[in-house]
Amino acid sequence: MVNRMSSPHILQVLRCCGLALLTVVVVWTAPVKGQQGAKDGEWRFFSGDGGATRYSPLDQITRDNVKNLKVAWTWKSDNFSNPPEIRNQATPLMVNGLLYFPAGSHRAVVAIDAGTGETRWVWRIDEGARWEKSPRRNSGRGVAYWTDGSGDERIFTITPGFQLAALNAKTGQQVPGFGQGGIVDLFKELGVDFDPTGTIGNSSPPVVCRDVVIVGPAQGEMSRPKSKKMTKADIMAFDVRTGKKRWVFHTIPRPGEFGADTWLNGSNEYTGNAGAWTTFTADNELGYVYLPVEAATGDYYGGQRPGANLFSSTLVALDASTGKRIWYYQLIHHDIWDYDIVTSPVLLDVKVDGKPVKLVIEATKQAFLYVFDRVTGKPIWPIEEKPVPQTDAPGEWTSPTQPFPTKPPAFDRQGITTNDLIDWTPELRQKAIEALKPYRIGPLYRSGSLTEAPDGTKGTIVLPGNLGGANWESTAADPETGYYYVSSMTRPTRIALVKPTPAESDVDYIGLALNPPQPNVEGLPFLKPPYGRITAYDMNRGDIVWQKANGETPPAIKNHPKLKDLNIPKTGGNWRSSILVTKTMLLVGEGWGGPPMFRAMDKATGEILWETQIPAGSTSGLPMTYMHEGKQYIVIAAGSQEARIPAQLVAWALPDTVTRPVSQARSDK
């Protein structure tokens, strides 16, 4: 959604900030008409605004006073499931002084006081076998908010058992006029003639655009699918008031529909998946929803679905009111790397070559940014179809070409050559070369290969792997500067195919495992650092402004006996940071799997301004901010697997004794 800064809001700013700011405000708002970001000191969307900028114009916390931040409150999820959930990926919403978020593996919805963390209401249902067999049995990433502006306020959530619930935002009660007593059974809405229990669910919040609430299904992981026949993950939209189904979009076209000819041998009839499991976005002004569609059934092998497989691994723009396709761009033809499309399409208004343009930016696992005009779907910078290596896996089909963006440059390492191997010492480099000899390596889009290949190799090590590059937690943007931030990790995957027994699968080949073990060099990674990074782009120019390692060098590297005489720059680790952008700085959680660090960074340089260790553990959710009773809060979910600290929300604010800048008053609500 494009959240334009309204005139009353500008006046409020001017009243509070004085005339001195007038010139600046005029300069900012005149050329960049579509001012985006979280409005009015609230956080009404999973990613701050409908365009997933994760930007808030709040500025009470500055680079000067950030060092004074203190934990204001914590909220604990210990008793929300048995065993307690450790990793909560949520970003709370903040509306009218309440935070809304999901908690525990049954995905209860909780409302708490934004100033104290006190629980106000909890909603939870028991879903029995639907929950027990759910492919997404966790608290999920968040909820969605809708209001008619006249007192009807709703929180929407998708349960682990795949039901869409509408809750009264004030009370937590199910809204009677929506579906059946506040609930729409999404299994029934799929309209399939089999029991889909256990095959489909969701862990991302639904998306509200205008008067529809849109559900993008998710499924289990498919490195070793039991069958080529799988539930199709149609995208469904429901009326926000009644819950009545408004439209459905077939991500796998049915026979006769547009794109069906990209499925050879009638494979669209039985193939499934192609959901939109990650969070997605909508432009409320245009009325378009942007769907990042995942791969089709078979993460690593697609011999049973020859063809380019539209709309799998495709960015699709639909009319939110009708579900009609506006434009699409397939980012990976015939995806057999489990690349999916994984980040929220970020909607950002910038000036390219002096001309205002409405962008949609898609960062991917394979470390590309694909940048389009979000109105027309036309690439901003050319995207070229280039020949790619072809498969020799029996029965597999590979696309002759794949689309390569010419600009901006990739944000992480792509493909493996000996130049990418560690060179801390000649001995280690030689060992890395030896360690990789049993495997195939090569450029991006080299496909997986047999665990026992005729040439004696044991599979292909691809980089980025399906757990590398960017993912759902990776992106943020600054509508004022046109900067775009993406976190990534340099993590390869070994794609090794095996022939399943008939009991295992009816597909010809499946993965040896989702993530089979890979070689190492005396306990060290075989690839050069950094292992995790944050990259800042100026989207006006399509260039990288800065790139930094995410975090320190892990002890396993720093203290390695073979490296003790070397001065190794920060390597970061194999985890992804989560990023919040405010008027004054970046606020960055180091990420799940990493040390429990939370940092403030300079937006223009990546310089660390402040950092703190979170007692609850590593950051598992994404940071958000809001203003409540004159105070700016920053909130993030954290927990610790090894210390067994269940998921918490941690809120920071400046203590009352610290003088707050005068501009804070403007966003009080």
Partner 1 sequence: MLLSAFCCLAAMSAQAPAASASQIDQARIDAGKRLFADTCQNDHCHGGSAMNMEDHAGFTAEYLRHVIIEGVPDTGMQAFKGVYTPEQVEQLVAYIVSVSADPGARPARTAPPLAPAHAATTHGELSGDATAGWALFFATTQARNCLDCHIFQGKGGTVGPDLTNEGSIPARELFRRIVMREQHPNARMPTDEYASKYSLRQLLDLVAFLKSTDPASAAGVTLQDLF
Q: What are the structure tokens assigned to 82, written together?
A: 């048995």
* CA–CA gap between residue 507 and residue 400 (Å, rounded): 23
Nearest approach in angstroms of CB 134 to partner 1 is 8
Query: What are the tokens at 274?
Result: 């192609």
Smallest separation (angstroms) from partner 1 to the CB of 413: 12
Q: How many CB atoms lie within 10 A of CB 500?
A: 17
Kindly report the backbone phi and psi dihedral angles of residue 55, in degrees, each rounded to the nearest multiple of 5, phi listed first.
-115, 135
**Minimum distance between the CB of residue 222 and partner 1, rounded to whole angstroms?**
10
* The only residue of 491, 548, 599, 628 in contact with partner 1, by rule CB under 8 A: 491
Half-sphere exposure of 573 (CA within 13 A, CB side): 19
Binding to partner 1 by residue 377, rule CB under 8 A?
no
Give how far Cα 214 sits from Cα of 45, 48, 537, Å. 14, 18, 30
Q: Does 492 bind partner 1 (CB under 8 A)?
A: yes
For residue 180, the 8-state DSSP code is: B
Smallest distance from the beta carbon of 561 to partner 1, in angstroms? 8
Least Å distance between CB 555 and partner 1?
6
Amino acid (one-letter) located at 522: E
Which of 105, 102, 312 lies closest to 206, judged by CA?
102
For position 454 contacting partner 1 by CB under 8 A, the verdict is: no
- Which segment (61-69, 380-388, 638-646, 661-669) binds partner 1 by CB under 8 A? 638-646
Q: Give the separation between CA 308 and CA 329, rounded to whole angstroms.
A: 12
The stretch among 32-40, 305-313, 361-369, 549-557 that binds partner 1 (CB under 8 A) is: 549-557
Kindly report each contact of residues 19-28 with a partner whose C-beta sits within 8 Å and lies 24 or more positions away, as own/partner. Answer: 28/480
Q: Does 427 help bind partner 1 (rule: CB under 8 A)?
A: no
**Does residue 514 interact with partner 1 by CB under 8 A?**
yes
Q: For strand 55-56 and strand 578-582, is the pairing parallel, antiparallel, or unpaired?
A: parallel
Considering only residues 92, 135, 292, 302, which one is a binding residue for partner 1 as defined by CB under 8 A? 135
Q: What would the x/- binding string for partner 1 be over residues 305 to 324, using CB under 8 A?
A: --------------------
Burial class (CB in 10 A: 0-12, 13-18, 19+), 531: buried
Nearest approach in angstroms of CB 556 to partner 1 is: 5
What part of residues 212-241 is at the interface with partner 1 (CB under 8 A)?
A: 220-221, 224
Residue numbers 271-290 binding partner 1 by CB under 8 A? none
The token pair that represents 261 in the structure block: 């000819």
Cβ contact 48:38 at 8 Å? yes
Identify which of residues 567 and 613 has a Cβ nearer to partner 1 in the complex: 613
Instruction: For residue 465, give the 3-state DSSP assignment.
Output: coil
CA–CA separation, 72 vs 632, rounded Å?
11
Q: How far is CA 120 from CA 142, 247, 369, 610, in A?
A: 17, 35, 41, 33
Among 568, 643, 658, 662, binds partner 1 (CB under 8 A): 643
Distance CA 595, CA 618 (A): 6
What part of residues 99-118 is at the interface with partner 1 (CB under 8 A)? none
Instruction: Tell me the closest approach of the beta carbon of residue 315 to partner 1, in angstroms.
Output: 21
Kindly tell me which residue out of 97, 377, 519, 630 binds partner 1, with binding defined by CB under 8 A.
519
- Chosen residue from 119, 401, 418, 520 binding partner 1 by CB under 8 A: 520
CB of residue 467 to partner 1, shortest distance in Å: 6
- For position 648 contacting partner 1 by CB under 8 A, the verdict is no
Residues within window 321-340 making contact with partner 1, judged by CB under 8 A: none
475 binds partner 1, rule: CB under 8 A: no
Output 452-458 pairs: Cβ under 8 A, ≥24 positions apart.
Answer: 453/392, 458/494, 458/496
Scanning 244-252, 265-273, 398-406, 567-575 for contacts with partner 1 by CB under 8 A, the matching segment is 567-575
For partner 1, the binding residue among 306, 415, 595, 661 (CB under 8 A) is 595
Nearest approach in angstroms of CB 276 to partner 1 is: 15
Burial, 652: exposed, middle or buried (Cβ in 10 Å; 0-12, 13-18, 19+)?
Answer: buried
**Residue 416 binds partner 1, judged by CB under 8 A:** no
Contact status: 641 vs partner 1 (CB under 8 A):
yes
Residue from 42, 85, 127, 335 binding partner 1 (CB under 8 A)? 85
Cβ contact 413:527 at 8 Å: yes
Q: Are 125 and 102 in contact (CB under 8 A)?
A: no
The residue type at 339 = Y
Q: How far is the CB of 135 from partner 1 (least distance, A)?
A: 7
Region binding partner 1 by CB under 8 A among candidate stretches 30-38, 268-276, 568-576, 577-585:
568-576
Interface residue with partner 1, options 225, 594, 621, 623 (CB under 8 A): 594
The tally of CA atoms less than 13 A away on the side-chain side of residue 3 is 24
Residue 128 in the binding site for partner 1 (CB under 8 A): yes
The enclosing H or E element of 371 equals: strand 369-373
Is 452 or 480 the residue whose CB approaches partner 1 more closely?
452
Cβ contacts of 616 within 8 Å, gap of 6 or more: 74, 596, 638, 639, 640, 645, 648, 650
Torsion of CA 660, 616, 569, 431, to 10 degrees: -160
Under rule CB under 8 A, residue 297 binds partner 1: no
Q: Does 500 bind partner 1 (CB under 8 A)?
A: no
Q: Which of 518, 584, 664, 667 binds partner 1 (CB under 8 A)?
A: 518
Smaller CB separation from partner 1, 198 or 630: 198
Farthest-apart Cα atoms in the chain, separation: 75
H-helix segments, 133-241: 186-190
Of 149, 454, 502, 517, which one interacts with partner 1 (CB under 8 A)? 517
Question: Rounded to the nearest whole angstrom, what is the least distance from the CB of residue 232 to partner 1 in the complex?
Answer: 20
Residue 151 in the binding site for partner 1 (CB under 8 A): no
Euclidean distance between the first and the last CA atom of the chain, given in angstroms as a whole number: 21
Site size toward partner 1 (CB under 8 A) is 56
The strand pair at 475-478 and 532-538 is best described as unpaired
CB of 519 to partner 1, least distance (A): 8
Considering only residues 159 to 198 of the shown chain, the ones binding partner 1 according to CB under 8 A are 198
Contact residues for partner 1, defined by CB under 8 A? 82-87, 128-129, 132-133, 135-138, 198, 220-221, 224, 467, 491-492, 512-527, 531, 554-556, 573-575, 592-596, 617-618, 640-644
